[in-house]
């Protein structure tokens, strides 16, 4: 095959993972919304990106892009905050939630040091990459918040899409906010009964 960097790699089957620990860890994962004032180490960031790179894609398209907001993070958050404050002003009369919510300057990224925007032409490919990256981040002792609110802002704001240099034809599928967690949970969020059937 051309265009590939084909180096020999050890194959590690998933069966080598302890499945009970894996299931228990997946069941225990929680969203983190409070972060320590501490950078995410470069090796950890690289591991997270590498996990996204190796996530499966339809037809092996490998078409997800990962954008670390880096030096533009504050500016991106500023655009989102202004947008939501406008929405709050216009919509508070109709939507009670908007009246109650306070949109602080850190409303979107919660002071976290690392924000990765995952974009693609395919929701599924990017969604899978995001989930893989989340699990890797948590295995590295980091906390993660998916920001659906940021995705909404990227849909509305051309200014934001320009700032994050969204690749042509891509849409923002997820925004993964990562940092060292400043909280520890005692409990998981209760789940409904499974919605599954066999035909
Ligand atoms: C796609 C997606 C988008 C989300 N967007 C937000 C968000 O914008 N703000 C927020 O505070 N939480 C957000 N969350 C977190 C959910 O509210 C959270 O996962 C859910 O309440 C269950 O809690 P848990 O993750 O601690 O188990 C999002 C989660 C997902 C999966």
Domain boundaries, the chain: 31-179
Instruction: For the full predicted model, state whether its pTM sits above 0.85.
Output: yes
**What is the structure's pLDDT at 76?**
98
Q: Is 107 in the pocket of ligand 1 (CB under 6 A)?
A: no
Q: What is the tens place of the pLDDT at every residue in 115-151?
A: 999 999 999 999 999 999 999 999 999 999 999 999 9
Alpha-carbon distances of 89 from 11, 76, 128, 185, 191, rounded to whole Å: 55, 20, 35, 34, 35
- Protein residue whose Cα sits closest to atom 30 of ligand 1: 146
Q: What is the tens place of the pLDDT at every residue in 142-195?
A: 999 999 999 999 999 999 999 999 999 999 999 999 999 999 999 999 999 999
Ligand 1 atom index nearest CA of 150: 8
How far, in Å, from the CA of 62 to the mean position of ligand 1?
26
Q: What is the tens place of the pLDDT at every residue in 14-55?
A: 999 999 999 999 999 999 999 999 999 999 999 999 999 999
C-alpha to C-alpha distance for 112 and 173, rounded to whole angstroms: 20
| The CATH number of domain 31-179 is 3.40.109.10 | yes
List of residues 6+ apart from 177 with CB closer than 8 A: 108, 109, 110, 112, 114, 115, 144, 145, 146, 147
- Protein residue whose Cα sits closest to atom 16 of ligand 1: 31
């Amino acid at each position: 095959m051309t265009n590939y960097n084909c180096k020999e790699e050890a194959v590690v089957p998933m069966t080598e993972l302890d499945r009970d620990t894996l299931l228990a860890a997946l069941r225990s994962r929680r969203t983190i919304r409070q972060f320590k004032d501490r950078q995410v180490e470069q090796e950890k960031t690289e591991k997270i990106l590498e996990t996204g790179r190796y996530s499966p894609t339809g037809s092996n398209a490998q078409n997800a892009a990962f954008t670390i907001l880096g030096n533009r993070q504050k500016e991106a958050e500023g655009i989102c905050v202004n947008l939501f404050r406008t929405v709050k002003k216009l919509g508070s009369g109709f939507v009670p939630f908007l009246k109650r919510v306070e949109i602080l300057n850190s409303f979107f990224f919660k002071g976290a040091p690392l924000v990765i925007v995952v974009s693609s032409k395919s929701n599924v490919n990017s969604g899978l990459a995001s989930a893989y990256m989340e699990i890797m981040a948590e295995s590295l002792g980091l906390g993660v918040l998916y920001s659906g609110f940021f995705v909404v802002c990227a849909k509305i704001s051309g200014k934001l899409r320009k700032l994050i240099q969204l690749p042509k034809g891509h849409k923002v599928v997820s925004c993964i906010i990562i940092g060292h967690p400043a909280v520890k949970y005692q409990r998981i969020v209760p789940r409904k009964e499974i919605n599954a059937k066999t035909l």
